[in-house]
Structures are given as C-alpha cells and as structure tokens.
Amino acid sequence: MTAPARSARFLIVGPQGSGKGTQGVLVAEAFGVPQVSTGDIFRANISGGTELGKRVQSIIEAGDLVPDELTSELVRDRLAQADAAEGFLLDGYPRNRGQVGDLEDFLAGRGESLDAVIELDVPREESIARISQRAIEQGRTDDTEDVIANRLAIYERETAPILDVYRAQGIVVRIDGVGSLAEVTARIFEALAVRGLAPAHPGRGAA
C-alpha cells in the first residue's frame, strides 16, 4: 500500500465544463488540504474589506480584468496562511504563463514545488454540451453557444499552454474527463497513487 504523501501541492486544470471545480473539492478533501480558487479569494477579500479586496473591487466594478500582478499577490497571501502550509489544490490559477512564473518563484522561495498537475481532458463538444445543459438547468440565458465557445477559446489560447511548462517538468497527470463523476474521480486517485501520492483521508472522496 502506498504511504500517504508528505505534501500535496496540486493544480487542477481543465476547460469550462470539465468538472474541475467538483473534482478539485473531492481531491482537496481526500488529501486534507484547502482548495484555493481565485474566485473564492476575490470574494473573501472583497467581503472582508481588505486592502487587496478594495483594489480588486474597484477593478471589477470598472469592468476590467484583475491584472496578473494583483491576482498573484492575492494567491501568495492565501497560500501563506497556516492551513496551506502542508499542501493545497489550486483551481483557476495560474491561468497563463506569466502567472506560472509568479507561482514558481513564490514556491521556490519557500523551498517547495507542485507535486502534480491534474489535467482533465474533455473534448470541446463535450464541454459545450455540459455547459449548455447546466445553463438550461439553472435558467441562465447568458450562456449562449457563442459565449461558451468564446470562453473555451480563451482557455485554449491562454491557459492550455501552461500545461507545456508542467509537461516539461514531468508532473502532468492527464485524466480522461469523460464519464460519471465517480469514474473520473477514481481515475484521478489511481493516477496520483501511481506517482506515490496517496490521500491522507481516503474516505473523503477517494472511495
């Protein structure tokens, strides 16, 4: 039986509709580490009235994108908190090569590095079908096929290329993201176990 990993520093990557948010929660729970998503960080800082939050809020209210430098600063602040000392699962960051450099510099400064990058591989047609179905179920009229296709194009243009950086490091775990929730989850844990990364709490998602 594989011994539990001493650390669990993960990044989960996949297009919209890949299920990475749900899978990320399951992996984080099983390994006993926090799931760290940029959306959650933005909301927490804004609602908490922090100085970083005020800067983010003014940018969002102006209709602009939060710049890489500020996004990276917020993530560094979150990863410096006590619950992330032994590991974390990043979701939504880094989104581009510039943010990859920021993250690697930060982790290197602490003598750390990512243990694995989980890539959920889902065909474009499947992503569009899933998001469209979710929009119908949630009564959202803004998720048109054109809007969805544009989001996927941004992912393919800006985020997918970061995987080349991590493939060169030999830490990408490519997972077939098509199938039931349980099937995909099982594939993730099996692939991580092969790399000697066993969850500390297998009952919490790694069934």
DSSP per position, 83-119: GGTTEEEEES---SHHHHHHHHHHHHHTT---SEEEE
**Residue 50, Cβ density class (10 Å: 0-12 exposed, 13-18 middle, ≥19 buried):** middle
Extents of the domains making up the chain? 8-194
The reply to whether 140 belongs to the active site is yes
**Which of 55, 76, 95, 204 is the catalytic position?**
95
The reply to whether 110 belongs to the active site is no
The reply to whether 78 belongs to the active site is no
Q: What dotted CATH number matches 8-194?
A: 3.40.50.300
Q: Give pLDDT tens digits along the chain (207 positions).
A: 344 446 799 999 999 889 999 999 999 999 999 999 988 999 999 999 999 899 999 988 887 878 999 999 999 999 999 999 999 999 999 999 999 999 999 999 999 999 999 999 999 889 888 888 888 888 877 778 788 888 889 899 999 999 999 999 999 999 999 999 999 999 999 999 999 998 876 655 554
Q: N- to C-terminal Cα distance for the chain?
A: 15
Q: Give the pair of three-digit tokens for residue 40.
A: 């959650």
